[in-house]
């Protein structure tokens, strides 16, 4: 026996009016960021950029502080992750003294402060010749290799950001440099500092060997007369 509840005359079902669905307000969609690039999940090792601040040393001299590199490390513990930061800081007076320090802390500001204090306590003198270096020097530290060459006035500091931070803090204004080997910021900075420490003035070299510097008098003399050599 056929079901008569859905059958009417003519054998067709009656057309029911469409039921209107209640419209819900649409929320704006936020653009999705790539995985691993959200807030707090960027690159672990990143350069800090050209961040320079001025401070005063123990003797009252004005010091410049530059943050070269900031590294973030994470430790997985119960309940989440525990982050730790390390900052590589270069401090110098731009008059021939420079120092490098590494600070570690749970916050970026504390790591920079500790790195600056360590750099101030480890400042060393550097032999400069006016605004450049006295001679060519090559140095290496670990896998990093740094080559420095003196340049004529007006050349500027031709160097990358890591080497530039050390040279400018020491007071070098005209120099040619080339960073070879590893690009690790800590090794490059230490190789640059080692190269600056190996610089020696001509007077110091002659003095260590027990010699005197021969100075030539450039005053014009009569034709045929021997030049005066002091």
Instruction: Find the range with the poorest average confidence among 56-60, 167-171, 185-189, 190-194.
Output: 56-60
Question: With 90 as the cut, is the pLDDT of residue 68 above it?
Answer: yes
Q: Which residue has the tokens 């653009």?
A: 31
More confident residue, 216 or 32: 216
Any idea what the Cα angle at residue 137 is, between residues 144 and 153, rounded to 5°? Answer: 115
If residue 141 lies in a helix (H) or strand (E), which one and from where to where? strand 137-141
Q: Which region holds residue 116: left if phi is over 0, alpha if psi is between -120 and 50, else beta? A: alpha
- Spatial neighbors of 88 by CB under 8 A, at least 6 apart, are 67, 68, 69, 70, 71, 100, 101, 102, 115, 185, 186, 189
> What pLDDT, in 10s, does the model give residues 114-143?
999 999 999 999 999 888 999 999 999 999
Alpha carbons 185 and 144: distance in angstroms, whole number: 9
- Domains of the chain and any CATH numbers: 45-208 (3.30.230.10)
> What pLDDT, in 10s, does the model give residues 28-52?
555 554 444 444 444 455 566 556 6
Instruction: Assign 3-state DSSP to the chain and report helix, strand, coil percentages, each to 5.
Output: 20, 35, 45
Above pLDDT 90, what percent of the chain?
54
CA-to-CA separations, 143 to 11, 15, 47, 136, in angstroms, rounded: 90, 83, 19, 20
């Amino acid at each position: 026996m056929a079901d008569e509840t859905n059958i009417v005359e003519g054998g067709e079902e009656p057309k029911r009016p469409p039921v209107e669905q209640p419209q819900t307000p649409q929320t704006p969609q936020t653009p999705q960021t790539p995985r691993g690039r959200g807030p707090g999940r960027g690159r672990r090792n990143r350069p800090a950029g050209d961040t320079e601040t001025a401070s005063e040393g123990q003797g009252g001299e004005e010091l410049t502080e530059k943050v070269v590199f900031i590294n973030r490390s994470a430790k997985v513990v119960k309940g989440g992750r525990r982050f730790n930061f390390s900052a590589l800081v270069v401090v110098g007076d731009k008059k021939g003294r420079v120092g490098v320090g590494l600070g570690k802390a749970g916050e970026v500001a504390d790591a920079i402060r500790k790195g600056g204090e360590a750099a101030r306590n480890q400042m060393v003198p550097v032999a400069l010749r006016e605004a450049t270096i006295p001679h060519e020097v090559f140095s290496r530290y670990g896998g990093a290799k740094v080559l420095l060459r003196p340049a004529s006035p007006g050349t500027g500091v031709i160097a990358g950001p890591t080497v530039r931070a050390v040279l400018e803090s020491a007071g070098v204004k005209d120099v040619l440099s080339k960073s070879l080997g590893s690009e690790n910021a800590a090794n490059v900075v230490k190789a640059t500092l080692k190269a600056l420490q190996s610089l020696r003035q001509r007077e110091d070299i002659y003095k260590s060997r027990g010699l005197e510097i021969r100075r030539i008098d450039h005053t014009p003399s009569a034709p045929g007369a021997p030049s005066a050599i002091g």
